[in-house]
C-alpha cells in the first residue's frame, strides 16, 4: 500500500476520533453492515477527493467494507486531519495522500495519484478531481462509471461542464439531495463555521455586528446560529427572493459597501468570487475580522488586501493574519480565506455527515448497479434513496411519523373534492 501523510505515529489519536465520530453515524453503520455482506464494489477501485476528517474516514471504511479498493486525497489543502490520515493508513489499510497545509503542487500531485490508480468510481468535493481528469487525463474518463459530487460549488462547475458539452463522465449531484443540503449545508456549516471562528479568534459573538454574505443553505445556517448567540446579523445578497427571506427572518439586508462600514465580523458563504474586495476593505472599521466558509478561497480578494497593507503579520494567533493598512487600520483574515470551519475547527459534526455520506455510499452503489446505459450528464439523487436515508435517520433519533391513510392517498392524488 502506498501513501503520503504527515506522520504515521499520529494514528492512535486519529483512531479515537474516527471511533468517536462513528457513534454518531448510525445510518452509515447500517449501510456498512449490509455492504460487508453484499460487497457491491468487489473488484472496483474508488478514488475519493474529500476533506480528510473523522467523518470521511467512516465513509471510506464503509466503501472498503463493500469491497472497494480505496484511495483518499484531500479536497482542500488546509482541511486534512493528519491524525485521521495516519489512522486510515495504519489501522484500516487505506491509501491516503493528504497532508495538512500541503502546497498547491503537492495538492495536485496527490490528485494525480488518485487518478493514476485508474479508478472505476470517483468522489469529489468541489470537482477538482473530475476537472483534472477532464484537463489532463481525458482518455481515462471513458473507464469511469460515475462520479459523486459533495458540494454546491462542485455541482455548479459540473453543470457548467455539461452545458458547454465538455462533461465526459456521468456525475451525481449528491449535494442537491435534500438529505444533504438541508442539514449538512444549513446545520452543519452553520454550527461549524461559528465553531471555526471562535476557535480561531476566541471573540464574543454577543453584541457584534456579523455580516453574512449569501443567504443560501450555508448562509441561512450561519446567520441563524449567530443570531442565537446574540449577534446583530446583517445579510448581503444578490438574489432578490433570498434577500426578502433574510429580511422576513429578522435580519438587516443591505449592500456589502454599506455593511462593510459597520461590520465587526464578516463571513462569506456564496460560492462566488471577490465578494469582499478593495472598496470594502477601504471602509472597514479598525479590527474588522474577515472569514470565508464558501468552498474556494476566492470569495475574499486577498490579493488586493495584501496590496493595500503596509505590513502583514502572519499568525498573530493560529489561523489569524493581521493586515495593517496604510492608515493604520487593522483587518484580520482568518485561515487564509479558506473554509474556516475545516481549517480552524473540525468541519461538520458527524450526525449531519451521517446523512450526506449515507447518500454518497448508496449513490456509489447505484452507479455500479446502473452502470450500463448511465447517461453522461448530472444526475439527481433518486427520491427513494433520499426517503430511505431520512427514515433511518428519524429511526436512529427515536422518532416515528404518521403514514398516509388510503383515504388520504386517494385525496392527495385526486382533483374531484373541492369546497
Ligand atoms: N463550509 C463548508 O463546510 C461548506 C459546506 C457546504 C457547502 N459549502 C460551500 O458554501 C458555498 C455556498 O453553498 P450553499 O449551499 O449555501 O449555496 P447556495 O447556492 O444555496 O447559496 C449561495 C448564495 O449566495 C448568494 N450570492 C452569490 N453571489 C453573491 C454575492 N456576490 N454577494 C452576496 N450573495 C451572493 C446567492 O444568491 C445564493 O443565495 C458553496 O461554495 C458551497 O460549495 C461549504
**pLDDT value at position 377?**
96
Phi/psi for 192 (5° steps) reads -75, -25
**pLDDT value at position 373?**
84
**pLDDT value at position 372?**
87
pLDDT per position as a tens digit, 12-46 = 999 999 999 999 999 999 999 999 999 999 999 99
Closest ligand 1 atom number to CA of residue 154: 43
Q: How confident is the model at residue 354 (pLDDT cuts 50, 70, 90)?
A: very high
Comparing CA positions, the residue from 253, 252, 251 lying closest to residue 239 is 253
Question: Residues lining ligand 1, judged by CB closer than 6 Å?
Answer: 151-153, 181, 185, 189, 213-219, 236-239, 242, 269-272, 275, 293-295, 339, 341-342
Q: What mean pLDDT value characterizes the chain? A: 97
Q: How far is the CA of 271 from the centre of ligand 1 (A)?
A: 4
Considering only CA atoms, which residue is closest to atom 39 of ligand 1? 216
Closest ligand 1 atom number to CA of residue 193: 1
Q: How far is the CA of 152 from the centre of ligand 1 (A)?
A: 7
Comparing CA positions, the residue from 318, 327, 324, 331 lying closest to residue 276 is 331
Q: Map grid coordinates 478593495 to a residue.
A: 278
User: Can you spell out the DSSP letters for 146-200?
Assistant: EEEE-SHHHHHHHHHHHHTT---S-EEEGGGSHHHIIIIIIIIHHHHHHHHHHHH
- Convert 274-311 to b/e letters by CB count within 10 Å (16 or more is b): ebbbeebbebbeeebbbbbbbbbbbbbbbebbeebbee
Considering only CA atoms, which residue is closest to atom 33 of ligand 1? 237
Span 308-319, mean pLDDT?
97
User: Could you tell me where the DSSP H helices lie in 203-344?
Assistant: 217-228, 240-248, 256-262, 278-283, 302-308, 340-343
Rounded distance between C-alpha atoms, residue 68 and residue 120, angstroms:
10
Span 66-93, mean pLDDT?
97
What is the torsional sign of CA 247, 249, 255, 259?
positive
Comparing CA positions, the residue from 256, 259, 293 lying closest to residue 276 is 256
Q: How far is the CA of 270 from the centre of ligand 1 (A)?
A: 3
Closest ligand 1 atom number to CA of residue 51: 3
Considering only CA atoms, which residue is closest to atom 32 of ligand 1? 237
With contact defined as beta carbons under 8 Å apart, do 148 and 127 qualify?
no
Phi/psi for 106 (5° steps) reads -65, -45
User: Can you spell out the DSSP letters for 328-353?
Assistant: S-EEEEEGGGS-HHHHTS--S-HHHH
Does pLDDT of 1 surpass 80? no
What is the torsional sign of CA 170, 118, 161, 181?
positive
* Residue 188 vs residues 183, 210, 356: alpha-carbon distances, Å: 6, 19, 11
Q: How far is the CA of 264 from the centre of ligand 1 (A)?
A: 21
Q: How confident is the model at residue 157 (pLDDT cuts 50, 70, 90)?
A: very high
Amino acid at each position: 500500500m502506498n501513501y503520503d501523510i504527515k506522520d504515521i505515529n499520529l494514528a492512535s489519536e486519529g483512531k479515537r476520533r474516527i471511533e468517536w465520530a462513528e457513534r454518531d453515524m448510525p445510518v452509515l453503520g447500517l449501510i456498512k453492515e449490509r455492504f460487508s455482506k453484499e460487497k457491491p464494489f468487489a473488484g472496483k477501485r474508488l478514488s475519493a477527493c474529500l476533506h480528510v476528517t473523522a467523518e470521511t474516514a467512516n465513509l471510506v471504511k464503509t466503501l472498503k467494507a463493500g469491497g472497494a479498493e480505496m484511495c483518499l486525497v484531500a479536497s482542500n489543502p488546509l482541511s486534512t486531519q493528519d491524525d485521521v490520515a495516519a489512522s486510515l493508513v495504519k489501522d484500516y489499510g487505506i491509501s491516503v495522500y493528504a497532508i495538512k497545509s500541503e502546497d498547491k503542487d503537492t495538492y495536485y500531485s496527490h490528485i494525480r495519484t488518485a487518478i493514476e490508480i485508474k479508478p472505476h468510481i470517483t468522489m469529489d468535493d468541489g470537482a477538482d478531481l473530475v476537472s483534472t481528469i477532464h484537463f489532463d487525463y481525458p482518455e481515462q474518463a471513458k473507464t469511469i462509471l460515475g462520479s459523486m459530487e459533495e458540494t454546491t460549488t462542485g455541482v455548479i462547475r459540473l453543470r457548467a461542464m455539461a452545458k458547454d458539452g465538455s462533461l465526459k463522465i456521468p456525475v451525481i449531484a449528491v449535494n442537491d439531495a435534500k438529505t444533504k443540503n438541508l442539514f449538512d449545508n444549513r446545520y452543519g456549516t452553520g454550527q461549524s463555521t461559528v465553531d471555526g471562528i471562535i476557535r480561531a479568534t476566541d471573540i464574543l459573538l454577543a453584541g457584534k455586528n456579523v455580516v453574512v454574505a449569501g443567504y443560501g443553505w450555508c448562509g441561512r445556517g450561519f446567520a441563524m446560529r449567530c443570531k442565537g448567540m446574540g449577534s446583530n446579523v446583517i445579510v448581503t445578497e444578490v438574489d432578490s427572493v433570498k434577500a426578502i427571506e433574510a429580511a422576513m427572518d429578522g435580519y438587516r439586508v443591505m449592500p456589502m459597501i454599506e455593511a462593510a462600514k459597520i461590520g465587526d465580523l464578516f463571513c462569506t458563504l456564496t460560492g462566488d468570487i471577490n465578494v469582499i474586495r478593495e472598496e470594502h476593505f477601504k471602509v472597514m472599521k479598525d479590527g474588522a475580522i474577515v472569514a470565508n466558509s464558501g468552498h474556494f478561497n476566492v470569495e475574499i480578494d486577498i490579493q488586493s488586501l495584501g496590496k493595500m497593507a503596509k505590513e502583514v503579520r502572519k499568525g498573530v494567533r493560529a489561523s489569524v493574519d493581521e493586515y495593517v493598512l496604510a492608515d493604520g487600520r487593522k483587518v484580520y483574515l482568518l485561515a487564509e480565506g479558506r473554509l474556516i470551519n475545516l481549517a480552524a475547527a473540525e468541519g461538520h459534526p458527524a450526525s449531519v455527515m451521517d446523512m450526506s455520506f449515507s447518500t454518497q455510499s448508496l449513490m456509489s452503489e447505484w452507479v455500479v448497479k446502473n452502470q450500463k446505459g448511465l447517461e453522461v450528464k448530472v444526475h439527481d439523487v433518486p427520491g427513494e434513496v433520499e426517503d430511505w436515508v431520512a427514515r433511518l435517520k428519524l429511526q436512529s433519533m427515536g422518532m416515528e411519523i404518521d403514514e398516509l391513510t388510503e383515504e388520504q392517498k386517494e385525496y392527495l392524488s385526486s382533483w374531484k373534492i373541492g369546497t
